[in-house]
Amino acid sequence: DISKIESGKMTVTPTDIDIHTILTSSLTMIREKAIKHGIETSVQIDKEMPQILRADERKLKQVLYNLLSNAAKFTDDGGSITLSAKMVSRNWIESRVPEIFKVDCLSVLGESGEPFCLISVSDTGIGIKLEDIKKIFTAFEQVESSASRRYGGTGLGLALCKSFLEMHHGSIWVESELDQGSTFTLVLPYVHANTI
């Protein structure tokens, strides 16, 4: 997938996606592992948000699966993982995106006044050091080497997530505190089907 993106051969095939269905089915993919480790999972979807999002279903599922499996991988037994979704404006994003992601994020979102679908994956896991936060979206970066050795992985997942979201004129960032947990947040414009 990475080499396809780099050679410009990765295409986006948007369809109408039901947000509720895609979130609950993504969570199902990690539920067995979560139960085995006593990790509680939950979904919170804002009732006010439009249910249909226009996006590439396979790519969005891959992004969610990657974020959720990382959350499960880096959360100790007895922790929790929360998946939530709501509608936000560009102004909201501008005021909330952490400073280190701001330029990157706002440049891909563009200037349109259209609403965005925000999906976040929060965990109570090992967290990420401040100095490592930006690196993890770069291919082959695994910042917690002892945990990575313990749990495996390629260091490619988040780089792919970022590329897939940017192909939709969307973005991703993370907020985290060491030993407390992490929240990965992605934003996707609702109405952009004509532009991809």
- Binding interface with ligand ADP (CB under 6 A): 66, 70-71, 74, 123, 125-128, 136, 141-144, 148, 153-159, 182
Distances in Å between the Cα of 169 and the Cα atoms of 8, 12, 56, 189 are 16, 11, 12, 7
Burial degree of 146 (CB within 10 A; 0-12, 13-18, 19+): exposed
Q: Which is nearer to ligand ADP, 114 or 177 (CB)?
A: 177
Ramachandran category for residue 140: left, alpha or beta (phi over 0 → left; psi -120 to 50 → alpha): left
Q: Which is nearer to ligand ADP, 26 or 142 (CB)?
A: 142
To ligand ADP, the closest distance from the beta carbon of 151 in angstroms equals 8
> Facing residues of 40 across strands?
80
- Please say whether the beta carbons of 119 and 147 come within 8 A: no
Q: Which is nearer to ligand ADP, 54 or 136 (CB)?
A: 136
To ligand ADP, the closest distance from the beta carbon of 170 in angstroms equals 17
Burial degree of 163 (CB within 10 A; 0-12, 13-18, 19+): buried
**Alpha-carbon span 25 to 20, nearest angstrom:** 8
- Please say whether the beta carbons of 148 and 85 come within 8 A: no
Tokens of 18: 């039901």
Tokens 């200037």 -> residue: 111
To ligand ADP, the closest distance from the beta carbon of 35 in angstroms equals 18
To ligand ADP, the closest distance from the beta carbon of 71 in angstroms equals 5
Q: Which is nearer to ligand ADP, 74 or 164 (CB)?
A: 74
To ligand ADP, the closest distance from the beta carbon of 134 in angstroms equals 11
Q: Which is nearer to ligand ADP, 24 or 62 (CB)?
A: 62
To ligand ADP, the closest distance from the beta carbon of 127 in angstroms equals 6
Q: Which is nearer to ligand ADP, 36 or 150 (CB)?
A: 150
